[in-house]
Structure 1
Amino acid sequence: MIKKDDYSFNSLQKNEKLTGMLFIGPTILGLVAIILIPLLYSLVISFSDYNFIHPVISSFVGFQNFLKAFSDQYFWNSLWVTIEFVVVVVGLELLLGFMIAMLLNRDIKLKGLYYAILTIPMVMSPIAVSLIWKMLLHQELGIVNYVLSSFGIGSVNWLGSTHGTLLTLILVDIWHQISFMILVLLAGLVSLPLEPYQAAKIDGANALQILFKITIPLMKPVIATVVLIRTIMAFRTYDLVYIMTKGGPGVSTDVLSYFIYKKTFMSLDLAQASAISWVLLLLVLLVVFGLFRYLESEETA
């Protein structure tokens, strides 16, 4: 026999679930409408002959758009440029960010001022950052070359060199995004337990031993998480390339996101652009899966 109190409790639980569904339902529907439907539609387009000249799906062509992309040397160039950009940007940001976070984790004066300075690049829009640095690095009118000339260094073509322009974009992106890396790593360092450090000092461990035996192992989950976030962000880099170089000189800075833009709005080949977008998505998912597996292995270790 069900007691009245039990019935009231079950009724209350059902009401709470219904209320929760009513609150979260519009959000889920919005996400489906904004994200899932366009995503699935782009997948359908990637297997069709759709383009802006004839904006209808007259036939499905199977994997032809993917095979066409894989046989395009410019696609492979963009893929390599993207991987090079992501690896160098995330790697340097992690190295420099960890070093700066370690310094800020000490008792230093004006720490609040340093925090405020760090947040300035992070809150700036990519478009503003790109425009500012494009003016600063102008070969004839830029302040950077003016300062270098005062030290007797000749004018540097920061955005016109086939071999050096990608490095310039990497440095600009690091300037813009490293604040995020520093603040996340700093939050992780602040939250570390003190007991292992106290025990290490008693045992006579030096600074390097403490760093590699205690700090880095304890920080691995935080490092993996911030690397995951920054890797996804770096793969999505578009504004920087579009404003500063347009993929040039030649195709030396033609990352996949800009390559997709050219296929869509210059070649008007939306079907192949969709196919390449899915290749990029699968590449990002592969990296995400690898980092998640690493995080799981660290948690079970």
Structure 2
Amino acid sequence: MRRGVKRNEIRTGWYFVLPSLIVLTAVVAAPLVFALLMSFYHYTFVNPRFNFFAGLENYIHALENRYFWTSLWVTLKFVVLVVAIEFTIGFAVALALNRNIKFKRFYYTVLTIPLLMSPVSVGLIWKMFLHPDLGILNYFLSLLGVQPFNWLSDHKMAFWSVLMVDVWQQVSFMILLLLAGLSGLPREPYEAAKIDGAREVQQFFFITLPLMRPVISVALILRTIFAFRTYDLIYVLTRGGPGVSTEVLSYFIYRRTFMGLKPAEAAATSYILLIIIFALVILAFKYIYKSAEE
């Protein structure tokens, strides 16, 4: 009797999960398989067929392209900086919001607004703010007697402008995730530390950080993966320019597909990017498991 009931429950569960699995297969799995096949063939828009097997030729051409390595360097620099800045700001704000302060709900609402906005709309808004002549940032700088900046057309400033916009939108994710971890920490270790005369700085380094290590690891892994996938924000703000100063791998793949008209090579590049992300995630999880065992 119990087995029959359990089977019915499992079957009912599968009925609920099946629509999502079908959608995921159609939207995620099918394009991944198609791109993988494409990367091993001489697939073009002129001849969109899997007739001529190329082996690893597309991967070799991708790795021989000097712009691939330039884009990889820009991507790694962008990911490291954006994750580090967002984590630092996020942890500081999360610690502040974890205290007994007024208007907490208001702050939570403000923090969720950037996350609810699409990267395209964020990019369009900030593109107006960063306009060299009509932008609000240069207007306020002019009131202070500072010369206006070419935020998106200067070779160096463009990278930092894109970084600033991404931090503005995504730092809320880091804050809310770390805040959830902080709110779930047990109070007993802190009470014992206070009795022993430990200061807040000591409590942070010897209690908060060790207890928050799993949450911190997950937050860093998720933001790293999302940062590697940054595309739409750069497309709207700079189109990878000036030159290739903001061309991350995601935008490089787009450019090779629709401007270079080499979809097979772009598919190979996308799988190289996927391998890099997987390698980083595996290393991160190994570190988490090692830390948990210790």
**TM bucket by the smaller chain?**
over 0.9
Could you tell me which amino acid in structure 2 is paired with residue 98 of structure 1? F
Displacement of 1:28? 2.8
CA deviation map 1:128-159 (0-9, x unaligned):
11000000001111110010000000011111
Structure 1 position 102 matched with structure 2 position 95: yes
CA deviation map 1:1-46 (0-9, x unaligned):
xxxxxxx333333333333333333433333333222211211110
Residue of structure 1 in register with 2:13 after alignment: 20
From 268, 274, 283, the equivalent of 1:275 is 268
From 147, 150, 156, the equivalent of 1:163 is 156
Q: Partner of 1:164: helix, strand, or coil?
A: helix
Q: Is the 8 A contact 1:184 1:226 kept in 2?
A: yes
CA deviation map 1:97-135 (0-9, x unaligned):
000111111122222222221111111111111000000
Structure 1 position 152 matched with structure 2 position 126: no
Q: Partner of 2:156: helix, strand, or coil?
A: coil
Using the size of structure 1 for normalisation, the TM-score is: 0.94
Structure 1 position 285 matched with structure 2 position 285: no
Distance 2:114 2:7 in 1: 48
Residue of structure 2 in register with 1:87 after alignment: 80
Displacement of 1:272? 0.3
Which residues in structure 2 correspond to 1:1-301 (within 5 Å)? 8-301=1-294
Distance 1:189 1:60 in 2: 53
Displacement of 1:239? 0.9
Q: Is the 8 A contact 1:82 1:235 kept in 2?
A: yes
Distance 2:234 2:175 in 1: 24
CA deviation map 1:211-263 (0-9, x unaligned):
11111111111111111111111111111110110000000000011001011
Distance 1:123 1:27 in 2: 22
Q: Is the 8 A contact 1:263 1:270 kept in 2?
A: yes
Q: 1:275 to 1:152 in 2, by over 3 A?
A: same
Distance 2:107 2:244 in 1: 38
When structure 1 is superposed on structure 2, of 117-126 and 77-86 the one drifting more is: 117-126
Q: 1:116 to 1:12 in 2, by over 3 A?
A: closer
Identical-residue share of aligned pairs (%) = 50
Distance 2:55 2:104 in 1: 58
Q: Partner of 1:205: helix, strand, or coil?
A: coil
Could you tell me which amino acid in structure 2 is paired with residue 220 of structure 1? R
Could you tell me which amino acid in structure 1 is paired with residue 31 of structure 2? P
CA deviation map 1:264-294 (0-9, x unaligned):
1111111001000001111111111122212
Distance 1:283 1:235 in 2: 10
Using the size of structure 2 for normalisation, the TM-score is: 0.96
Distance 2:93 2:19 in 1: 43
Distance 1:65 1:142 in 2: 43
Structure 1: state its 5+ residue gaps. 1-7
Distance 1:20 1:114 in 2: 38
Q: 1:23 to 1:124 in 2, by over 3 A?
A: closer
Q: How many residues align?
A: 294
Could you tell me which amino acid in structure 2 is paired with residue 124 of structure 1? M
Distance 2:115 2:274 in 1: 25
When structure 1 is superposed on structure 2, of 103-112 and 181-190 the one drifting more is: 103-112
Give me the CA root mean square deviation: 1.3
Structure 2: state its 5+ residue gaps. none
- The ranges of structure 1 where at least 4 consecutive aligned residues each deviate by more than 4 angstroms after the TM superposition are none
Distance 1:242 1:270 in 2: 18
Larger radius of gyration: 1
CA deviation map 1:155-196 (0-9, x unaligned):
111111112211111111000010111011111111111111
